Amino acid sequence: MLQEDLYALSKTPLDRSLEGLESDVWRSIDARATDRRTYASAFAVQVVILTVGAMASAAVGHQWATAHQPNTGAGVFSPYTRLAASTLLVGDSR
pLDDT value of residue 37: 95
Between CA 7 and CA 37 the distance in angstroms is 51
pTM above 0.85, yes or no: no
Between CA 72 and CA 80 the distance in angstroms is 7
The domains of the chain are located at 23-60
Amino acid at 16: R
Amino acid at 13: P
pLDDT value of residue 19: 85
Q: Render 8-73 in DSSP notation, one character per residue.
A: HHHHSPP----TTHHHHHHHHHHHHHHHHHHHHHHHHHHHHHHHHHHHHHHHHHHHHHHHS---TT
pLDDT value of residue 77: 65
pLDDT one-digit tens code per residue, 19-48? 888 999 999 999 999 999 999 999 999 999
pLDDT value of residue 79: 59
Amino acid at 40: A
Q: What is the mean pLDDT of residues 74-93?
A: 65
